[in-house]
Structure formats: C-alpha cells, structure tokens
A = this chain, B = another copy of it.
Amino acid sequence: MAMKLDEDEGITMSQPKMTDVAKLAGVSPTTVSRVINRRGYLSAKTINKVEAAMHQLNYRPNTVARQLQSQKTMTIGVLVPTVANPFFGELTFQLEHYLFNAGFKVLVGNAENDIGKERRYLQQLLARQVDGLVIATHNHQQQIPEYQNANLPIVSIDRYLRATIPNVSSDNYAGGRLATEELIRRGAVHIIHTDSVERFNKRDYLRQQAYQDVMREHGLTPVTYKIDFNSRPDRLQAFFNRIFDEHPEVDAFFTSNDMDAIQLLQVARQRGIAVPDQLQVIGYDGVPTTTQIVPELSTIVQPLDEMAKTAVDLLQREIRGDQVAGSHKLPVKLRVSGSLR
C-alpha cells in the first residue's frame, strides 16, 4: 500500500496538482479553481498570475473540464468596434443568426476603438459570462494581455490574435490583386491605394501587399495613403482632398473599405472630377446595406454570411474541445458597377 502511494506521488510530480499552481501563483487553491471555472469576480492580475502558473507547470485541468461542461452559459460574446458601422452591423447580424440557430445567445460589445473598454469587456467575459468569444475589434492585441492567456474558445475575424486562435477572413490578398488588376485592365495607370492605420499585423496588410505586388508586376509605382478606420466625414474629405492635391495625375483608387470609397466619390463630385471617365474607384466590403445606398460603387465583396457561418462552426468545434487554429480565408468576388469604365 505504501508502495502504491509512492507511485501515485511519482505520477503527481509530472502531473501537477491545483495546489502546485496555487503555490506558484501565490494564491489559494480556491482562487485557482475560480479562475479555471470562471466563477465570481476576479481581477485581471489574479487571472494572469494563475494562468501564467498553469502555463509554467503545464497544468491541465482535465477534471474540471467536466464541471465547465455542466455550467455552460450558452452565450457567446461578440466584440466589434461599433455595430453602428454597416460592415460590423452586418457581421453582428450574421453571427447572431447562426449562433441563434445553434442555440446560443449573443452578448455584443462595442469596443469603440478604446483599448480600456475592450479589456474591461474581456475581463468580465473571461471571468464567468460566456462559452466563447468572436473578436472583430481593431485594437492592438499586444496591448491586450487577456488574449495571450485566455483559457476560452475564441475565433477572430480578419485579425491575428495568437497562433492558437483561429482567424476567419476574406482572402485579402486575392481581393487586393483582383481590385488592382481590374483597374489596370480598364486602363488605369496612376492607381492610389488607401488603407487603415490600425491594421497592425502582417495578415491585415495583405490587401496593400497585393496592390503593391500587382503595381510592380506592371511596372507601375504603388502609392499608399493611410487614415484611421471610422474617421469622421470631415477628416476623410480632407484626407482625399490632400491626395488629389498631391497627386493630380491619379486616375483610380482602390480603397480598403466602402465607407472611405463613398467619401472619395463625394470629394470627386465636389472637385468636378467625373467618375468613371476621369477617375475609377473600387472599394472593399460590399455589405448589402451599403450597396443598397450607393449602388454605383464597384467593390470587392466579402462573403460575410459565409465568414459568420465559418466562425460559428469553428467556435462550436473549440467548445467541444477540438483543436482548431490557423487562417480560414474565404473567396471574394468583384462587384462591377458605375464607378468602373
């Protein structure tokens, strides 16, 4: 019997216990249990310490996985910059549609490009509220440590958070190529690309990279301007007026989103520049509401319906305990309309 106990302790050495995590983190085992079970109010600092200790010891709370299973909230948190933007309104609508059909309720948070608000949301949600998260915000993930140690199913949309979090996006590189090649095919030579400043990481630069690759392949000079996502109309108008002043030769634009393209069309009209004869424009997004309001805009259409469906499928697989990761790129298409010759 004593022999048996020693053997068990031998196993325990390689399979750390909750008390080992508690000791290393400098908290009580109850606190460790609360972190694992997302129970009660916990500070971000405590969650970080405990999750760092779990990580260091390679502690796997298998026994509590079953507990988690039994206390599912059947709620998913969706974080976007703002549902007032047509793109994120449509994305949230589509996500809610598929999540509702899968039996989930949806907590929506507008991060409002405010890192503090995004972190407060994450801390709340991570602590006890949801079975999983869909993240479509624009804030810099390196300033949000919660993403690095979140012990929760997450899917990100159009954004890289960390290697183990699956990312769903439209095929941004293909979209950038499609737009630029189409403008060249239709006779444009001085094509300018506008993009958002907040796009921090390599994946998000793919539209720009594709634009630059295609321009260089055709012996043309790429010119990219950047502006904050969701800038107010007066700032956007000043931005495009500056580009026209600095590049009077411009004969086409590929903009990183449709809201920017729409402001550009207004500036062109104010300046008496005829679209499409003097200036051709291709945007990016192709949200139904925007297309309904500005049907003349040619654009790269993101398959938002399919992106939402894919994100919900991936999240459900994560919740079931499957390992899913990697980049899930969905095909885009070009919508040809009045802003192309």
Contact = CB atoms under 8 A, between A and B. Distances in A.
Interface of A: 75, 82-86, 89-90, 92-94, 96-97, 100, 105-110, 112, 117, 124, 129, 233, 259, 262-263, 266, 287-290, 292-295
Secondary structure type dominating chain A contacts: helix
B97 A90 contact: no
A289 B90 CA distance: 14
A109 B105 CA distance: 8
9 A-B pairs with the lowest CB-CB distances in the bound complex, closest first: A89-B89, A84-B93, A108-B108, A84-B90, A233-B292, A83-B89, A84-B89, A83-B83, A83-B93
A92 B82 CA distance: 9
Contacts of A108: 83, 92, 96, 106-108
Given A84-B287, A97-B112, A100-B110, 7 more contacts: A75-B107, A84-B92, A85-B289, A86-B89, A89-B89, A105-B107, A293-B294
B85 A89 contact: yes
- The copy count of this chain in the complex is 2
13 contacts: A84-B92, A84-B93, A84-B94, A86-B289, A97-B110, A100-B117, A106-B107, A106-B108, A108-B108, A233-B292, A259-B292, A263-B292, A294-B294
Nearest to A232: B292
A106 B263 CA distance: 32
B75 A293 contact: no
A107 B90 CA distance: 16
Nearest to A265: B293
Contact of A266 (B86, B90, B295): B295
B92 A83 contact: yes
Contacts of A94: 84
A110 B96 contact: yes
A82 B93 contact: yes
